[in-house]
Structure 1
Amino acid sequence: MNLIMASFNLIYTIPTIILILILILIIVGVYFYYRRTLPDLSKKDKIILSTLRLFVLVVIVLSTGELAIETIAKKFDEPVTALLIDNSKSVSSEQNLIREKLDKIIRQIKNSNQKIEIFVFNESPRLLHLDSLNQINFNGHSTNISKSINEILKNKNDKNYQNVILITDGIYNSGENPVYLTEKSEIPFFIFGVGDPKPKIDISIDEIITNDLIYAQNQTPVRVNIKSNGFENQFTTISFFEDNKLIEKRDFQIHGNYQELEFFYKPEKEGEKKLSFSISPFKNEYTTKNNFSTRYVKVLSNKIRTLIIAGKPSYDLSFINQAIKTNKDLQTATLIEKNDGSFYPLFGNESFIDSADVIFLVGFPSTNNSDRFIRKVYSKIERDNIPLFILINPDTDFNRLVLFKQFLPFDWRSAFGTASQILIDVPEEKSKNEILNIGSNNPVQVWNSFPPIYRVDREFLSKPESEILSYFKIGNSRINQPLIVSRNLNRHRSIAFLGFNIWRLKLLNAMNEEESIYFERFINNSIKWLTTREVEKNLKVQVSKKIFDINEKVSLIAQFYDNSNQPVEDEQINLEIFQGKDKITSTIFKPIGNGLYTAEIENLQQGDYSFQATTEFSGKKFSDNGRFSVTETETEFRDLQLREDLLKRMSAITKGSYFHISNSDEFINNLNQYLTKKPKQREVTSIIYIWNSPYTLILIILFLSIEWFLRKRWGLL
């Protein structure tokens, strides 16, 4: 990096003409002050004292004008090549080949006189020094390619990244699809594929699909997605466990590479339950570490009372009402107010408001609604902290909606039209969200294949504490505004669907019974998420996830608040880990500020564990507990096939190149011809604030002290 000073400027807040007049007055004043002295001093001594006094007064005046010096320099950044290396377990079988090619790649980049930065990544990227390549252990528990690319994009302008070399199998099991980020990169990606593009002979449990919240004494479907290759028409056995107790054992025949088995689970009691599935292994499987999978669910006891309030009758209202009625664990009622303040007789009366556990607002409040009724709905939400699902349509009166603003996950600006036809655009990383997970093998494809719906022409903004679950597209262009957005703040939950005619989602494949119920699943998922009540505890402890690999650290985070909901810092919070009734280990949470504490546990063996966190504060005891499991089920072994299609697309989008790492010697030998090597010029601006610098005060005191000392020494009055 070369830095060349270009210019500097003085910055001050006092108008220039006034500043000049003040400086002239200071110069004249100091001149007359030291023009005659007693005793009379030499001209040289008068100049010294005048200079000291003049400097102090000028600095004081400029400081009151908030003087600062701005420097502008030209910076020439050398080109940098970023080398991203997949450090996950899924590439561990090829680690010798990766190390061999890695040495050649680094040597070629060095020969091109280009800087190189090496990142290893699994769940997140880590910068690695050239002397530390032996730290690459290919032992990561998950793969997040997009997070590594995002790290490059975030620092692209400061570091002048000109090329990205990526070594991976393309099997990402965390984060979003990396293709989306490469489209924004404007940097060529040279990608080396690792692994076998042909599927391994293997069978695995890919995913367990069920609701996170279910109800005691009610049957709930649990779907198990199974991937297999090489065992067509063979028979095997799958076992279903609740908290390690066998519920069902079933023989099934393998058909195709993907199949789904459906089980029905009827929990006896409420509480947190661990559901596990295990497939009997075949002798010639590539690995048996992916034959087992676990999921935790929360079992609730009572039925939920749902109230739909609409501005007027609509297809959306009717379809939402029917979707709720398909769930026998829900009770539903509907309120639609007429212009005269009465209610449509086929629906109900205002008394339903008092018993509601969750409220749907469909085009409400509207111009038809009375202020009295709107105020009553608002009072119920405010008093009982009722969760909300709101659907915005042309009947919604935004002037009246302002009353509910504190409960909503979005904000809005002025309208710019009436309504537009749009397409749903769910990011891949959001498709497994418990609200959007509608039970498909590929939920993002289902969501983004739904028929067009409509949206009010108004700019909607997600509030900072909200989570955007879906954007929307006009044509093929994503609009970065929320369509589906949720919020969980201060123990209040809300979901907003900022579109209407959502009944059209039922039309994706109305003749297919499985696909025709996606709409019902979305509505029911929303209700279950909204009605998840958070226990109002002063001390709350959560594990980072429920299932850990046997080699992973178990991470926990605690939040501690006093009775006025203020964070409590620097308290000792004890953590104990149990397996059954046996205490395994204990530690103390480490405070990280703002009422947050963290703890990590290592070297736990396979099994089910519980934890107990305790502390004392102001003479009272506080505690929290929970469960987690440690297994040998490897996320990295759920998918074993090199994603060449993905990697080729990434390289093509960025005008780079793709090679399988085993056939890459010729490309590596000529790598210097492919790398971009343009130095980048940019301006670097820095501001030195003179007026509030401690050195300015020191200089003022120093010069005044010297002046005082000289005056005393020379005997001035």
Structure 2
Amino acid sequence: MIAMLQDLMSQDGSSEALLETQSQLRWLDAPAAWVLGLLLIPALLLLIWWSYRGERMLSRRQRITLTSLRILALLLVLVASFRPALETTRNLRLCSEIHFLIDDSASMARKEAYSQERGEALLAALGDQAPSSSSELSRSEYVQRFFGGGGEDMAKRAAPPARQLIEGLAEDFDLRFFRFSDNSTPLVDLSELQAAAPFTRIGDSLDIHLGSFGKQGGQLEAMILISDGRNNEGLSPSAAAKRLKAAEIPLHCIGVGDPSEEHNLTLSGPNGPEQVLRGEEAVFELDVRATGLDARSAELILEAVRRDDQNPAESGDAAVLQTTRFPMPAKGQSRRVTLRHVFEEAGDYLLSFKVPPLPGETNPQDNITRRYLRVDSDKVRVLYIEEQPRWEYRYLKEALRRVDESIQFQCFLFDASHNFSQERSEGLAPLLRLPATREELFQYHAILIGDVPPSRFGATEEERARWFELLKDFVEHGGGLGILSGELAMPDSYRESVLEELLPVVLANPGDEELPSASTQAFRPLMENPHEPHPLLRLSENLEQNRLLWREGLMGMWWYYPVLRAKAGAQVLLRHPEDQNQYGRRVLAALGPYPKGKVFFAAVDEFWRWRKGYGEKYLDPFWRKVVRTLSENRLRRLDDRVLLTVDEKQIEIGGRVRVHVQLLDEDYNPVLEEKTTIHLRSPGGELLPIELPRLLGQPGEFEALVPFEEDGVYSILVYESAQPGGRPLAREDVVVEIPDKELAFASMNEKGLQELAQQGGGRYAPLHRVNELLAAFDGRGAGLKVLDRKTREIWDQAWTLLLVLLLLSLEWILRKKWRLV
């Protein structure tokens, strides 16, 4: 270590200022002071007195001279026996360090309406650097402005209170800056602060920092925490502060933000579709939470900006689409607000849901939330296949005809006569035969198959197998399939077939003793989750009314096909109220993925009975939701040869999304490239290219993890030829949010910071009075580190003996001269 310091000094031109030399006299074998004063010196004087007590012939002057010579000689011998030594020490002057730990969590990005007193104090402390209003800067921006942005010459740029602190500390200490959320990271300058971490772990950060720097030979003098004081995870800050105090490293705290009681409204969500059709009603649900506000109601505004995927930087003007007034929720509670709108023009829209700032609100920043919506001009194309015009068929095809003009359907009844014109939407030609080629089948978004025997799908086994393989391929590429059970053939006649493989349920063994006998009374299906029902089952927006409808309102059914259980990954929608087996109540309806499309299965065939007492009020919307759900994946895909998926569509700041792309060539074979390029569109419209490597051993499949460090709505785009100017082939949107834990209780915890400083043996000061911390460092400063120490014994020299001999010889000569010898 010493050699390293010496090398450092030899390379540093300031070594003379750093090196100090000190010398001091030491007695290596000196007795205790009381021994010297009470025993040795009196004994020495007594001995000399005894030696000359009988010399009567000497004059007073002669006696004093001889006595002095003997005293000096004996004292010299005595001193030499104490081993006097000269100790020379070379010291290296070291400046101990003060570490500033700056909170870099998302709550530090908050802009707030300060109380008048606190706001005026902040602006006055900033002086010429003050904004026009205290609410213009975020907490993190205030820290950067007060401390001059960090880096070299930060004191010159700092606000007066911070400049006084920095200059005062820099005289005796080295100042180092760190940012933290769960642990500390060194900062070159304060522009590296992001204020985006999804949590604040003050205790963990202090504890880890102490473990990393607290044992470096006493080099860490103190720690200064700059934070809003809102700890929401990890070790208790109090425990970490006590550890610092025990290590004799004081913890000082600087509070950032307004400590006043929070008066705020928070808007989150919305739940709603990512894609709708032109002319289709989009329904959005938002959650509103309010604290400390006097307003009894507020207005929710929906604005939209039309975006262009081919020219991301270009966009239209924001237009107000919808407004609604809602009553404020009670303190500590939330209220769900619903907005509805019909989009008449196709395109990509950036939707903004916002509540104008309310009187006395401290943080209007979280009054807005955004998301993307794609409005397609496509029509949902549905193929409905049945054997006979059973009751379910008759009412289902009429529901498709009238429920939504964006839905176009074609029916095919196998049992119809040759001169029968197959049912279809207006403007479409009737089907003359069952679609049997890839081109014919892939023009649809969803296919519904009713109670049809397998023999109807081909004259030979080979033809039937070919058609069902084509159906399987259709579902694998994002198509939707609905299987509607019936007493004639569906699904019992499809055991050990491709269709059974597609089902989201497992068929029961025909010999199963648990199979029920024919039903003798009507039953009403039970929702799997009555309190949070699947969107398909929400016949009323009022959840209580919806539960009442399913429990008592809708007419019961008489027949169902008993299945064994749902397959893994499938969502159970409805169950039988009484019939059950070892897997629970039997499944009556389920929805499952396969793997890129969706398959809906209904074990009942009497939804048409819901008309009794209600007409088409609930029947038509139910079938519309089924069709839209099944067609959703295929509508979202802009090109059948490109599949873009993400594992998360809504994440918190700092999270990562796994992006997977599957690419096929013109012949629907996997491409052979080793990598592909996609683009990430930021909330501001900038495009960032991202390279995805090919998965090992999987041609045509590419994957990567994409991090998101800022909140907002992002789009992941796959362009033709991987160029932004090309046609977009696929798109997925990702919403990045500030975590709820960083938004809740967002006012500055001044009391907590004061207690933390007290527990850490330090002081607290608000940001605008940081100079008050300087008094805590009086009497503390640079220290010395011993570089080397050398000891040279003075008595162990020839002159010591010569001097003793000289004194004794001189005494003998004088004694002889004065005739004493």
Whichever of the two has the greater Rg, that structure is 2
- TM-score, with length taken from structure 1: 0.49
> Whose strand proportion is higher, 1 or 2?
1
